[in-house]
Structure 1
Amino acid sequence: MSLEKFKIAHDKQNSLLYWFPKICNLDIPVPKTEWVLVKEDLLQYLGSEKEFPKELRNKLIASGRKIGYPLFLRTDILSGKHDWERTCYAQTENDLIGHVYTLIETSECADILGLGINAFVFREFLQLDWKFKAFEGMPIARERRYFIKNGKVLCHHPYWIEDAIAKGWHKYPLPNNWKDILKELNKETKQEIKILTSYAMKVADIMDGFWSVDFAYSKSGKWYLIDMARGEVSWHPNCKYAKEVES
């Protein structure tokens, strides 16, 4: 990673605390979201006998109850979704603090110098139209990544590619026909492209620079905007705009 990309990866704009307040009122479906700010280094509580701060613990528990279980838990930067059952998927309140600890570890290991935690984010658990599970129990559904830059939609792609799943570690056996299922999930329809392009344009109209915008399809028939990050450091499949990431 170049020094420039390293700086972008650690830029505060990648934080949900930066981009979510800007897009949450754009008439685009988003999960109900709450967060608890973190003002201290939480690494000191890993592998030690120090008690997790009571005030922070109480705030986390209160936010979990406000959103309701099951819920999707993440930091303002990442979710550790490949470790689904130990990180972002909190099924009950009893799971919460253990998952918080795992997210602290995941954040520390996410980059050469680790990625900091400015907040723990509690999100409504979306019932996605998933067809099989991969990695550590993560539901694989219709998800898309759109790239926007300076007021324009550049391109769009299915999020889950075959290679990512083929090379992954899976706690549970994949269905024998998972490749065929994935191909069906990854078919982008004209109606879908029309809807998501309109959503992406709403974001592009207010967000300067280069961004990835991720969407997921729910069982209710809605597409939700679920994540964003600086485009320069977002995974981008091979297309004519991929050089924007490489440059």
Structure 2
Amino acid sequence: MIVLSESSEQIKPSASSRDLKIVTETALLLGCQLYYIPQDFERCGTAENALYHIPKYPQYAAGIWVGYIPELYRYKAIYNAATAKGIKLLNTPWQHQTALEFDLFYPLLKGLTPESIVIHSINECAKAGDLLGFPVFIKGAIQSAKRLGWESCVANNYEDFVRISKYLLTLKYCSRGRVIVRKLVNLRHNRLAPNGLPMGREFRVFIYNHRVLKYGYYWEGRDDLSKLSLEEENAVLNLAVLASERLNVPYVAIDIGQLESGEWIVIETADAQFAGFSQIPVIELWNKLKDITLEG
């Protein structure tokens, strides 16, 4: 398996850069062919220049890109440049986009995830608030602003709704011009994050071609809710596989959460190439990923 990594000593320390460093070191440890690529086209200009140092492979080989969530145009450019080198990234641009952008995967997951509405401007806030009722959870098409706390992603009234939506629409990397309004649900939890956000009972499942590779608790730290009974584990993994079948994206990360009622739901999905690992042992995940991709 060929790995394109954005890991660099110049990257500002963060949870994401830590995960990127770990997965890059894991790829080297497992004997993957690794090539470093820049995080943007600022200096190299084009995707072809970013991959200039990579030889052309005589037969197509499976490739995985590990880095930060790219803009769509950049994913397409790197995908095409890699294909020209004989490297097939695990997800096509459309599959990458489907797994990542909420308004694309939501129609495929209806009934498995809370009711949601997509809006493109502040003018649509009033209607969406009337349809779902308050409070509502608000996020961008790609990410929420939950790192800033509860008040940055939960609206209790119209004024909150407008404030949060305006902010998200200014963040191109979070929203890509769309705001997602979700019916607020209460997840089981024992802890609150330092910013006051409930740390709901949630698990991230990595899947390749509808086969579970590994899963782990979403939040860091010790938590009694991180332990699943056999029955609960079956419920989580079966729901994740069902979601992956509906999405039809080869390499996908699916977050599954438990409501206070005990029901399991899909929280969201992502292109697993760019997903954090939570409490998942990376070397075990990549061992399985490497073996399964070599199977063809």
CA contact (8 A) 2:169 2:178 kept: no
Deviation at 1:214, TM superposition (A): 0.3
TM-score normalised by the chain length of structure 2: 0.61
2:276 to 207, 231, 235: 235
Alignment correspondent of 1:41: none
Greater displacement, 230-239 / 83-92: 83-92
Query: Is the contact made by 1:82 and 1:135 (CA closer than 8 Å) also made in structure 2?
Result: no
Deviations 1:79-122 (A, max 9, x none): 111223332111222211111233245x35xxxxx455231111
In 2, are the aligned partners of 1:87 and 1:103 still within 8 Å (CA)?
no
The answer for unaligned runs of 5 or more in structure 2 is 1-5, 7-36, 39-64, 73-96, 291-296
Which of 9, 15, 19 is residue 105 of structure 2 equivalent to? 19
Is the Cα contact below 8 Å between 1:76 and 1:119 reproduced in 2? yes
- 1:61 and 1:21 map into 2 onto residues whose CA distance is 22
Matched, 1:76 2:153: no
Please say if residues 216 and 224 of structure 1, whose CA atoms lie closer than 8 Å, have aligned partners that are also in contact: yes
- Aligned with residue 115 of structure 2, among 26, 32, 40: 32
With normalisation by structure 1, the TM-score equals 0.73
Matched, 1:65 2:106: no
CA distance in 2, matches of 1:9, 1:242: 22
Shift of 1:219: 0.9
Letter in 1 for 2:109: I
Distance 1:217 1:234 in 2: 20
1:151 aligns with one of 182, 207, 210 = 210
Percent identical across equivalent pairs? 20
Q: Which residue matches 1:186?
A: 226
The correspondence of residues 130-141 of structure 1 with structure 2, limited to 5 A, is 130-141=189-200
Distance 1:234 1:195 in 2: 22
Question: Alpha carbon RMSD of aligned pairs, Å?
Answer: 2.4
- Matches of 2:259 and 2:108 in 1, distance apart? 23
Structure 1 pair 77–8 and aligned structure 2 pair: CA distance change class (3 A): closer
Q: Mark the CA change 1:98 to 1:242 in structure 2 (over 3 Å): closer, same or farther.
A: farther
Matches within 5 A, 1:202-213: 202-206=242-246, 207-213=248-254
Q: Which residue of 1 aligns with 2:26?
A: none
Alignment-mate amino acid for residue 10 of structure 1: E
Relative to 1, partners in 2 of residues 1:116 and 1:100: Cα closer, same or farther, differing over 3 Å? closer
Equivalent position of 1:85 in the other structure:
150
Question: Within 2, Cα distance between the matches of 1:69 and 1:8?
Answer: 31
Q: 1:59 to 1:115 in 2, by over 3 A?
A: closer
Quick one: structure 1 residues 139 and 67, their matched pair in 2 at CA, closer, same or farther if it must change by over 3 Å?
A: same
**Contact 2:141 2:176 (C-alpha < 8 Å) held by counterparts:** yes
Give the secondary-structure state (helix, strand or coil) at the position aligned to 1:58. helix
Give the Cα separation in 2 of the matches to 1:18 and 1:69: 24
Question: Which protein, 1 or 2, shows the higher relative CO under an 8 Å CA cutoff with sep ≥ 6?
Answer: 1
